[in-house]
Amino acid sequence: MENYVFNASEEYALKLDKNDCLASFRNEFYVMDGKIYLDGNSLGLLSKRSETSLLTLLDSWKQFGIDGWMEGENAWFDLSERLGGRLASLIGALPVEVIVSGSTTSNLHQMIATFYQPQGEKVKILADELNFPSDIYAIQSELKLKGFDPHTHLVQVSSRDGRIIEEDDIIRAMTDDIALIVLPSVLYRSGQILNMKRLTEEAHQRGIIIGFDLCHSIGAIPHELSDWGVDFAVWCNYKYLNSGPGSVGGLYVHKKHFGQVPGLAGWFSSRKDKQFDMEHVLTPASHAGAYQMGTPHILSMAPLIGSLEIFEEAGLKNIRNKSLLMTRYMMDLIKYELREMGFSLGNPIEDSRRGGHVFLEHQEAARICKALKVNGVIPDFRAPNGIRLAPVALYNTFKEVWETVQILKRIMTDEEYKQFENKREVVA
């Protein structure tokens, strides 16, 4: 972003697009005609390569039947491990520390069941009050299963402003009674990046296991989980990684924990060469594969094969650089064009603390989102007053960012939003 000097003209947006080293990747995706899709932080668009890899895996079922487990270019039996190895570079992990399996929530249950081992005074779990609800539900469930009351044994760090969580506040909450910490890498509403390295170091100094939910960071920002010593992480692959609705998630476990028996075991927790011995005593895999449970969902995993090809070619550093420039440009346009219209930026301004989306706040947010959709812009509403706009580096353009802000300005100036009810849809 060294040469970036803000200019509000459409010509400047076109100039940024002309100089975009990732511009050609837009052609890899099924971009919707007449629409500006800014919801890739909820569900990424389908790429042509993901479509091909899905159809190829479907064809392997047709061609091989049950022999598809061991035959074909992408044999199913160890596909989770191979895809985990390819994902490892996106989070700074060793290939053996990553497995593609389950969903964010089921994987989080697995991690808590494995690593939450209350002993002595260390009996509580630390989280934050701005985390995605599913993570909190999982923590509450696991506490109950261990015989503890979530009201007393789940500690949630408060936000000072309802938008961000200060790392200093998290560290102060790392008291002697905390056994486990579960935090987001990027807050799903405000897009704040937590300093995972610092928090991990502070947790380990106090003998606390710490893990992160990477749903809003994987594929968008760099990580160095192994070097930082992070104990575990979980994520979905359908946001920035574009692997399709409800696709198989992923998990990471630091190699220092290898050999620990999974809290929730299943037959795919087994060492591969022992799995079909059908013994009633589990021999866990010696790597992250031990934390799988049931049979992999092959067809839901298949789109990730094609998607990862794109990431390997584009490079995460290039993706992050463009993402930062797009969100910086969008924020500058908002401040320039939407002055005195009731908007405020709820995301961090600093590049080092900002994830992949812009978080706009407005008291009429729900009806503004509806107006945007009618005008061909796909945003993401977050109750009670948030509008998430995610210009994704692989398929959005700077001109789309410019057009979005012009549409927003017209919606507000002409009061188009007033024709809609200020209430979210069933799916927001």
- Phi-psi group of 319: left, alpha or beta (phi > 0 → left; psi -120 to 50 → alpha; rest → beta): alpha
Nearest-Å Rg of the Cα atoms of the chain is: 22
Tokens of 373: 């959709």
Check the annotation: does 257 bind a ligand.
no
Check the annotation: does 267 bind a ligand.
yes
Q: What is the 3-state secondary structure (H, E, C) of the chain?
A: CCCCCCCCCHHHHHHHHHCCCCHHHHHHECCCCCCEECECCCCCCCEHHHHHHHHHHHHHHHHHHHHHHCCCCCCCCCHHHHHHHHHHHHHCCCHHHEEECCCHHHHHHHHHHHHCCCECCECEEEEECCCCHHHHHHHHHHHHHCCCCHHHHEEEECCCCCCCCCHHHHHHCCCCCEEEEEEECECCCCCEECCHHHHHHHHHHCCCEEEEECCCCCCCCCCCHHHHCCCEEEECCCCCCCCCCCCCCEEEECHHHCCCCCCCCCHHHECCCCHHHCCCCCCECCCHHHHCCCCCCHHHHHHHHHHHHHHHHHCHHHHHHHHHHHHHHHHHHHHHHCCCCCCEECCCCCHHHECCCEEEECCCHHHHHHHHHHCCEECEEECCCEEEEECCCCCCCHHHHHHHHHHHHHHHHCCHHHHCCCCCCCCC
Check the annotation: does 176 bind a ligand.
no
Check the annotation: does 132 bind a ligand.
yes
Check the annotation: does 105 bind a ligand.
yes
Check the annotation: does 420 bind a ligand.
no
Check the annotation: does 295 bind a ligand.
yes
Q: Using CA atoms, how far apart are residues 369 and 42, in angstroms rounded to an integer?
A: 15
Check the annotation: does 135 bind a ligand.
yes
Pairing of strands 358-361, 386-389: antiparallel
Check the annotation: does 414 bind a ligand.
no
Going by the annotation, the residues of the binding site are: 104-105, 132-135, 213, 216, 238, 267, 295
Going by the annotation, the residues of the binding site for pyridoxal 5'-phosphate are: 104-105, 132-135, 213, 216, 238, 267, 295
